């Protein structure tokens, strides 16, 4: 179970993640929508982005899908990672990110669902006027897996090789034929 904090550092909900893969359960589960928590208006770890921007500045943000991705990236030294708490990135979240930095790396899971979410998210981020690149993860891996298997250097290599929005779309179309 993970507390979900808003940009002021107030706990607004809780979320959870299953520890072992189970096809009967969703990988992540957020608290119910309430007056103070709307998943489409919040970003996991946005409070840490605010703190980093105030102390040392931000040159970019890494957008992931889930809590464990953010925690693993932060532990590995990538303290500009946040999560959309699932694959439903919204225009409101994109505008919130723009308050902190205009350079975004989207690092969603390397599976089919993650790639579809990446395509949707890229358009939303781009329409918000953000400079977006895609971190292409190996098939079936998420950022947490990459950190566990390849360490910070392995993830940094993927970050360095991130591709632009048009290049990712062309590659995705090419792979579908």
Q: Which residues pair with 14 in a beta bridge?
A: 3
Q: Which sign does the torsion angle of CA 11, 13, 19, 21 carry?
A: negative
In angstroms, the CA 66 to CA 48 distance is 15
CA distances from 140 to 1, 5, 40, 74 (A): 24, 29, 25, 21
The model's pTM is 0.88
What is the tens place of the pLDDT at every residue in 2-43?
899 988 889 999 988 777 777 776 667 778 888 888 888 889
The answer, yes or no, to whether residue 112 has pLDDT greater than 70, is no
8 Å CB contact between 114 and 83: no
Q: What integer best gives the mean pLDDT of the chain?
A: 87
């Amino acid at each position: 179970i993970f507390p979900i904090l808003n940009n002021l550092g107030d706990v607004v909900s809780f979320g959870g993640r299953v520890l072992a893969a189970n096809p009967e359960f969703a990988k992540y589960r957020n608290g119910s929508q309430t007056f103070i928590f709307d998943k489409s208006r919040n970003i996991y770890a946005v409070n840490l982005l605010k703190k980093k921007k105030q102390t040392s500045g931000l040159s970019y943000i890494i957008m992931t899908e889930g809590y464990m991705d953010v925690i693993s990236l932060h532990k590995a030294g990538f303290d500009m990672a946040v999560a959309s708490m699932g694959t439903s990135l919204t225009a409101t979240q994109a505008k919130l990110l723009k308050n902190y930095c205009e350079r975004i790396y989207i690092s969603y899971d390397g599976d089919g669902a993650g790639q579809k979410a990446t395509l949707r998210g890229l358009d939303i981020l781009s329409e918000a006027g953000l400079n977006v690149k895609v971190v292409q993860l190996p098939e079936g891996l998420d950022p947490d897996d990459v950190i566990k298997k390849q360490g910070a250097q392995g993830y940094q290599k993927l970050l360095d090789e991130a591709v632009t929005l048009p290049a990712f779309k062309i590659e995705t179309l090419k792979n579908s034929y």
